[in-house]
Amino acid sequence: MQIQGGKHLTFSLGKENYGIPILQVREIIGMMEITEVPKTPEFIKGVINLRGKIIPIMDLRAKFGMNAIEYTERTCIIVVEVNINEAKRPMGIVVDTVSEVVNIEESDIEETLDYGAKLEEEFLTGMGKVKGKVIMILNIDRIINTQEMILTLKEAEKTEINF
């Protein structure tokens, strides 16, 4: 994957800092009621109705195998745009806290080191150095496994979830 500099939205899960390219972020919203969808993986929390659109929601902590925590007033849903079957679709990811938008120069991004951990291999495009911190830059298209999200949308339609 090509490492690209530019603006990234940074957020945290526990003590770890992550970033995603700002061009993939549609909006940031506070936690709202999530309607569960049957027959979906544990990390898929369900769907929300955001201004008339059904948006699947994934808990990033659960996806990464981290311990679950109680949602707080700082817990947010980042609505991102991902490519599914050649079309852009909005999807939501639950994060502990959103930090800021930072500009990460290409020269400040290093390739991920292979620690043998699944997270690095599958989901990271690089490690950015910003203000003395390391920001793990995520490949959001890969994290939101399209098959899982397509399944969630189909199950939501099948069970005729009403908002």
Interval 34-90: pLDDT, tens: 999 888 888 999 999 999 998 999 999 999 889 999 999 999 999 999 877 777 889
- List Cβ neighbours of 108 (8 Å cut-off, separation of 6 or more): 5, 128, 129, 130
CA atoms within 13 A on the CB side of 107: 0
Is residue 143 over pLDDT 90?
no
| 23 has pLDDT over 50 | yes
- Residue the block writes with tokens 């291999």: 121
Domain extents in the chain: 6-158
Q: Inform me whether the pLDDT recorded for 1 exceeds 50.
A: no
* 119, pLDDT greater than 80: no
Tell me the whole-structure pTM to 2 decimals: 0.85
| Fold designation for 6-158 | OB fold (Dihydrolipoamide Acetyltransferase, E2P) (2.40.50)
For residues 143 and 112, the model is more confident at 143
